[in-house]
Structure 1
Amino acid sequence: MLTVKDLLLDHLQYTFEKDAWHPPLGMAVQGLTAEQAAWKPSPERHSIWQIVRHIIHWKRGVLQALDGDPPDYESLDKTDWQEVSGDQARWEADVRAMNEIYAEIRQKLDALGDDGLQQALRAYQQSPQPTVVARRLLWVFTHDAYHAGQIQYLRALQEIPADRFFTAAWRGDVARMHEVLEGHPDLLNGRSREGWTALQLASYFGHADAVRFLLERGADVGIKSTNDMANTALHGAIAGKRAEIVPLLLEHDADPEATDSGGNTALHLAAHEGVPEIVEVLLRRGANINARRNDGLTPLGVAAKEANTAMQDVLRRRGGIE
C-alpha cells in the first residue's frame, strides 16, 4: 500500500535526482561552467546561478520550519535574488550546497512516520493558513520542478554544445552532430547529464544513420552509461527493440556478453523484450545462451518469468536451460 511518506519520497527523488520524462533539478545543473551559470538572456532576468542560490535560500527556511523554528521571512525576502558571480570553484560550491541541503531534507523525511507528516508545523501555526508537514514538503518539491524547468530553458537559450550534441543524438540529427563535433570532438565519447553517450541515445531511439555516423567517427561501442543502469549501446538498442541497429553494433565489435548493473547480457534483454530476430542474431554471434544474471536467471528463465511461451520455445530449441 502506497503511504503518504512513500509518495513524498518518490516525488522528492523525481524532482531532484532521478531521471524521468523531464530532467530533475540536480541533473539540470550538471556540466555547467561558471560563465554559463551566470549568463542572463537580458539584464533584468535571473541567471541559473541566481536560481540555485534562491533554491538554497528557501530550502534553509523550510529546514528551520521542520525543526519547529519560524522562518525569518523578512530577512529571507531581503536577501533573495541577489546578484552573483565568481569562478568555477564558487559555482561548484553552490551546487554542492544545494545537493547537501536536499540530502538534509531527504534525511528528515526519512525519519518521519506518517503520524509525524500529519502534524501541523509549529512554525506555521501563526499563519492564516496553517499547514501540515506533508503539504509543506509537497510545495517544496513542486518549487524544485518549476525551477528545473527554468534552468532547462536558460540552458537551451545558450545553445550549450553538449546539450545540442546529445539532443541531436536522440533526435537522429546527423548534420547537427557533425557540426558540433567539428568544434568539440571530445563529445564523441562524452556523457550526457543523464549518463548516456551519443551512440547509446541514437541506438535506443533507432536512428540507424546516426549510429553509422557515430561509429564511422570512432565512437566507442563498449562504453557503459554512468547512471544506475550501467548499460551499453547494444543494451540500449535491444531495450528499444531496434532489430536493425543490433547488427550495426555487432559489426563494430559490440560485446554481447557485456552486462548491465543487473547482470543482464544482451540475450537476457532480448528475451525480456520478446524479439526473436534479435535473439537469433545474438546467437549467431556466439552469445552465451545460458549466462546467468545477478538474480540467477538465464535468458530462458527471463522469458519464463515474462510468460512469453514463443520466446521460451525459441530458446529451448537452441539449447537454453532455466
Structure 2
Amino acid sequence: MDISQLESLIENDQLDQVIALLSQKPELAKQITSHQISPILLACYYKKPEIAQAIAEFVPELNLFDACAVGKFDDVTLLIFKNPASVNQFSIDGFTPLGLACYFGHEDIARFLVLKGAEVNVASKNGYNVFPIHSAVAANNYNITKMLLDAGAYPNVCQKSGVAPLHSAAQLGNIELIILLLEHGAEVTLRMEGGKLPADLAAEKGFTEIAEILMPDD
C-alpha cells in the first residue's frame, strides 16, 4: 500500500506529500515500484524533476542509473571511479547510464560518461532499441546530440517502429537539430514502419517549410 501511495503522489505532482511520506517511511525511497523501476526513475519519467530530487535526498547511496537520470554529477563521477565497467551496464528497464543522461538532458553527465568510455552506439535492452542519440533528440537537446555525433554516433539508427533521429527532430520542428543531423549524414529517405518519411511527420505537425526541406529529391 505504501509504495502505491508514493507512486500516486509522484504521478499527481504532490511534492509536499511525497516529502512528508518519506520523512515517516524513508525506506520507500529505495523500494521498487509497480513499474519495476525506482521511485526516482518513476518521477523522472513522469517529468517531475523536483520530486525526483526530493526522493534522492532520502537515498543514502544512489545507484548509477538514478544518479544519471536525476542529474547528480558528483555521484556519477564517484560511482564510475569506483566501478569503471559500470559505464556500459544496463538499468533494470534496459537503458545505459548514457541513455538516461541523454534523455533527461544532463549534458555534463553525458559528456563525462562518453569521456569515460560510454558506448554511443549501443541500443537499449528492452525491446525498444533506443540509442542514446534517439534519447537526445527526443529530449530536443542540440548540445547533447552534437556531442554524440562528434563522438561517432550513427545518425541513421532506427528504434522500434523504424523511427530514426531525423523522424523525431522533424516531428519536433527543431530546424537546428535537423540541420545538425543532415550535416552528419542523416538520410531524408528513411521510412518508418508504415512508410512515413521525416518530411511526412513534419507536415503532420504543421511544419510545412521543414517538410519541404526534408522532401527527397526524387
TM-score (norm 2): 0.71
1:25 has 2:27 as partner: no
Call closer, same or farther: CA 1:279–1:201 in 2, change over 3 Å: same
Quick check: 1:169–1:202 contact (8 Å CA) kept in 2? yes
Call closer, same or farther: CA 1:186–1:304 in 2, change over 3 Å: same
Residue segments in structure 1 that go unaligned for 5+ positions in a row? 1-13, 15-19, 30-152
Aligned residue number for residue 185 of structure 2? 286
Aligned residue number for residue 78 of structure 2? 179
Which residue, 170, 183, 195 being the options, matches 1:296? 195
Residue aligned with 1:267, SS: helix
CA offset digits 1:250-295 (Å, max 9, x no partner):
0111011110011111111111121111110111111111111111
Q: Distance in 1 between matches of 2:135 and 2:217?
A: 23
1:225 has 2:124 as partner: yes
Quick check: 1:239–1:269 contact (8 Å CA) kept in 2? yes
Q: Distance in 1 between matches of 2:116 and 2:151?
A: 12
Aligned residue number for residue 254 of structure 1? 153
Which residue, 180, 185, 188 being the options, matches 2:87? 188
Residue aligned with 2:191, SS: coil
Letter in 2 for 1:264: V
Call closer, same or farther: CA 1:298–1:248 in 2, change over 3 Å: same
Letter in 2 for 1:223: V
Tell me how far 1:227 sits from its aligned partner.
Answer: 2.4
Tell me how far 1:157 sits from its aligned partner.
Answer: 4.9
Letter in 1 for 2:99: Q
Quick check: 2:37–2:93 contact (8 Å CA) kept in 1? no
Letter in 2 for 1:175: D
Which residue, 237, 244, 247 being the options, matches 2:136? 237
Residue aligned with 1:245, SS: helix
Tell me how far 1:304 sits from its aligned partner.
Answer: 2.1
Quick check: 2:36–2:93 contact (8 Å CA) kept in 1? yes
1:307 has 2:206 as partner: yes
Which residue, 60, 68, 76 being the options, matches 1:169? 68
Alignment RMSD (CA, Å):
2.6
1:117-156 map, 5 Å: none
CA offset digits 1:32-84 (Å, max 9, x no partner):
xxxxxxxxxxxxxxxxxxxxxxxxxxxxxxxxxxxxxxxxxxxxxxxxxxxxx
TM-score (norm 1): 0.49
Tell me how far 1:21 sits from its aligned partner.
Answer: 5.6
Q: Distance in 1 between matches of 2:133 and 2:11?
A: 22
Q: Distance in 2 between matches of 1:24 and 1:295?
A: 35
Letter in 1 for 2:206: A
Quick check: 1:267–1:279 contact (8 Å CA) kept in 2? yes
Q: Distance in 1 between matches of 2:168 and 2:11?
A: 22
Quick check: 1:222–1:232 contact (8 Å CA) kept in 2? yes
Tell me how far 1:158 sits from its aligned partner.
Answer: 6.5
Q: Greater CA radius of gyration, 1 or 2?
A: 1
Tell me how far 1:173 sits from its aligned partner.
Answer: 2.3
Q: Distance in 2 between matches of 1:271 and 1:303?
A: 5
Identity of aligned residues (%): 29
